[in-house]
């Protein structure tokens, strides 16, 4: 059985470690989200400046997501073999460096290559942070803890929207990407305050004692025995969910400005309010997941988002659109629950790579959603493309029915706590 650091059975020092890990992971994912959103927010300005067709602009988002898909495997493997802390710092360093480099790109080709390289860092944070927090919080609080950490996504999005409102109209899109330097601050916080995961260290030491050789983890273990089925299904669920999310998310700023007539500064305000709704959704869904189970609440979020998307598209009144945005994105909070759920699908030594693989390979497979929605928008409208995204959510809900529940009400141990495949 894996050992988890918690306030219930440790002293004040380890309790501080628990909270530092929580906030270090939260800050890391905040910057991850902020960096992701810089492209979506700057895209209307870049399209105008470089006179790009929508399909070509969508490929910039596609390049990012392909890098993310590869990153989840590489950095997940690195995390499970060499530690959560090192891997998280590497992720921050890579995407921070290449985001700043985008500010000096001169061509579409340069921009796309640099965005791909930034994606190689961006994809690692989700799986590493999910494993980190899962290993320092008890099962009965784990969904709330991971949901809080992953609710940094709307916080980072809102922060990016705020920065874009302050920077884009006056200094241009290049200055926005220079903000990638902020990753240095979080790297310092991790170095000073956040120790390596004890659960990971103890599990690695135990496996090395049992085998009398260095304990190494390989990707093929995710497809061995009973894990193969859940790896494939969870990745498909992630793919369906994130196809809808990234398709809408990448083009939402453009949709609000081109099809609903908002100015760039008003669009930023809309996005801030939308992400307040998403932040609240992360907290609500995480709390309920600890009560009724990860799977049930995820299904509810799929159906809620699928119903809200067409209503949002059909709304033309700007005031109604403003208030519907937070309600729509409240139902896009399933990624917070996935942090606990996907981690619990795997034993400790595969936790970071397994969770990261399912989520980020799914995110990588959804890479062409921005491109296809750009093509649909060229022929029809962005609103039409958004409405089609609801279908992928319903497909994801059906696939999830074939995955196991990893936790039960009344605070029974989760599957990962028993280090056994259900």
Q: How confident is the model at residue 30 (pLDDT cuts 50, 70, 90)?
A: very high
Predicted confidence (pLDDT) per residue in 196-231, tens digit: 888 888 888 887 777 656 567 777 888 887 899 999
User: Is pLDDT larger for residue 65 or for residue 358?
Assistant: 358
Q: Beta-strand (E) ranges in 137-267?
A: none
Average pLDDT over residues 80-92: 91
Does residue 111 register a pLDDT over 90?
Answer: yes
**Can you give the pLDDT at residue 172?**
93
Q: Could you tell me the CA-to-CA distances from 276 to 215, 301, 410 in Å, in that order?
A: 43, 17, 30
Helix (H/G/I), strand (E/B), else coil: 105: coil
> Residue 100: which pLDDT band, with cuts at 50, 70 and 90?
very high
Has residue 309 got a pLDDT over 80?
yes
Assess if residue 392 is contained within a domain.
Answer: yes
- The number of distinct structural domains making up the chain is 1
Q: Which residue has the higher pLDDT, 274 or 374?
A: 274
Length of the chain equals 422
pLDDT in tens, 236-245: 999 999 888 8
Split at pLDDT 50, 70, 90, the class of 420 is very low
What is the pLDDT at residue 7?
38
Is residue 1 in some structural domain?
Answer: no
35-54, pLDDT tens digit by residue?
988 988 898 899 889 998 87
More confident residue, 370 or 4: 370
pLDDT at 314 over 90: no
Q: Distance between CA atoms of 377 and 417, rounded to whole angstroms?
A: 47
Comparing 198 with 176, the larger pLDDT belongs to 176
Q: Is 146 among the domain residues?
A: yes
Within a domain: residue 7? no
The pTM for the full model equals 0.74
Q: What percent of the chain has pLDDT over 70?
A: 91
More confident residue, 253 or 341: 341
Q: Residue 32's domain spans which residues?
A: 12-418
In this structure, what is the dihedral angle of CA atoms 90, 93, 98, 99, given to the nearest 10 degrees?
Answer: 120
For residue 81, pLDDT beyond 90: no
Least confident of 54-63, 240-249, 405-414: 405-414
List the single range of 181-195, 214-228, 281-295 with lowest mean pLDDT.
214-228
Quote the crossing angle between the two packed helices 334-344 and 294-314, to the nearest 10°. Answer: 150
For 39-48, 64-73, 171-180, 211-220, which range has the lowest pLDDT when averaged over its residues? 211-220
The domain that holds 107 is classified in CATH as 1.20.1250.20
Is residue 163 a part of any domain in this protein? yes
Query: In the predicted model, is pLDDT for residue 417 greater than 60?
Result: no
Mean pLDDT (whole number) for 277-295: 88
Residue 408 has φ and ψ, to the nearest 5°, of: -130, 155
pLDDT at 182 over 90: yes
User: For residue 347, is it within any domain?
Assistant: yes
Q: Per the domain annotation, does 4 fall within a domain?
A: no
Query: Are 366 and 65 within 8 A, CB to CB?
Result: yes
The DSSP-derived string for 328-345 is HHHTT-HHHHHHHHHHHT
Per-residue pLDDT averaged across 118-129, rounded?
88
Contact 380, 372 (CB under 8 A): no
**Residue 3 included in any domain:** no
C-alpha to C-alpha distance for 147 and 138, rounded to whole angstroms: 14
| DSSP annotation string for 341-408 | HHHHTS-GGGHHHHHHIIIIIHHHHGGGHHHHHHHHHHHS-HHHHHHHHHHHHHHHHHHHTTSPP--B
Instruction: Give the integer Cα–Cα distance in Å for 268 and 253.
Output: 8
- Cα 79 to chain centroid distance, Å, stands at 17
pLDDT at 174: 95
pLDDT value, residue 213: 60
Question: Across residues 133-144, what is the average pLDDT?
Answer: 81
The residue with greater pLDDT, 75 or 249, is: 75
Asked if the model's pLDDT at residue 6 lies above 50, the reply is no
DSSP 2: -
């Amino acid at each position: 059985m894996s050992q988890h650091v918690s306030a219930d059975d440790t002293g004040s020092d380890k309790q501080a470690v628990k909270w530092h890990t929580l906030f270090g992971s939260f800050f890391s994912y905040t910057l991850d989200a902020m960096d992701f959103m810089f492209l979506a927010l700057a895209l209307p300005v870049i399209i105008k400046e470089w006179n790009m067709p929508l399909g070509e602009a969508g490929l910039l988002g596609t390049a990012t997501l392909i890098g993310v898909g590869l990153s989840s495997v590489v950095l997940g493997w690195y995390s499970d073999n060499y530690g959560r802390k090192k891997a998280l710092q590497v992720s921050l360093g890579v995407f921070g460096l290449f985001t700043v480099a985008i500010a000096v790109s001169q061509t579409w080709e340069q921009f796309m290559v640099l965005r791909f390289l930034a994606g190689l860092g961006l994809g690692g944070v989700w799986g590493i942070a999910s494993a980190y927090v899962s290993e320092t919080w008890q099962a009965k609080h784990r969904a709330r803890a991971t949901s809080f950490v992953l609710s940094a996504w709307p916080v980072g999005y809102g922060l990016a929207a705020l920065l874009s409102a302050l920077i884009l109209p006056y200094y241009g899109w290049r200055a926005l990407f220079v903000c990638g330097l902020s990753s240095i601050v979080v790297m310092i916080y991790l170095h000073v305050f956040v120790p390596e995961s004890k659960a990971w260290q103890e599990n690695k030491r135990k496996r090395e004692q049992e085998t009398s050789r260095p304990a190494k983890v390989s990707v093929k273990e995710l497809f061995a025995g009973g894990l193969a089925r859940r790896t494939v299904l969870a990745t498909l669920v992630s793919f369906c969910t994130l196809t809808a999310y990234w398709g809408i998310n990448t083009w939402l700023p453009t949709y609000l400005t081109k099809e609903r007539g908002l100015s760039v500064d008003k669009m930023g305000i809309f996005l801030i309010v939308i992400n307040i709704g998403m932040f609240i959704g992360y907290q609500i869904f995480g709390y309920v997941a600890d009560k009724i189970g990860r799977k049930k609440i995820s299904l509810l979020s799929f159906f809620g988002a699928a119903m809200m998307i067409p209503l949002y598209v059909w709304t033309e009144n700007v005031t109604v659109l403003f208030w519907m945005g937070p309600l729509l994105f409240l139902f896009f909070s399933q990624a917070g629950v996935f942090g606990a759920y996907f981690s619990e699908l795997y034993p400790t030594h595969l936790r970071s790579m397994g969770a990261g693989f399912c989520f980020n390979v799914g995110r990588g497979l959804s890479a062409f959603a921005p491109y296809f929605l750009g093509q649909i928008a060229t022929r029809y409208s962005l609103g039409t493309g958004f409405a089609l995204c609801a279908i992928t959510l319903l497909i994801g809900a059906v696939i999830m029915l074939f995955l196991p529940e990893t936790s039960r009400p009344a605070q029974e141990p989760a599957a990962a706590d028993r280090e056994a495949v259900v």
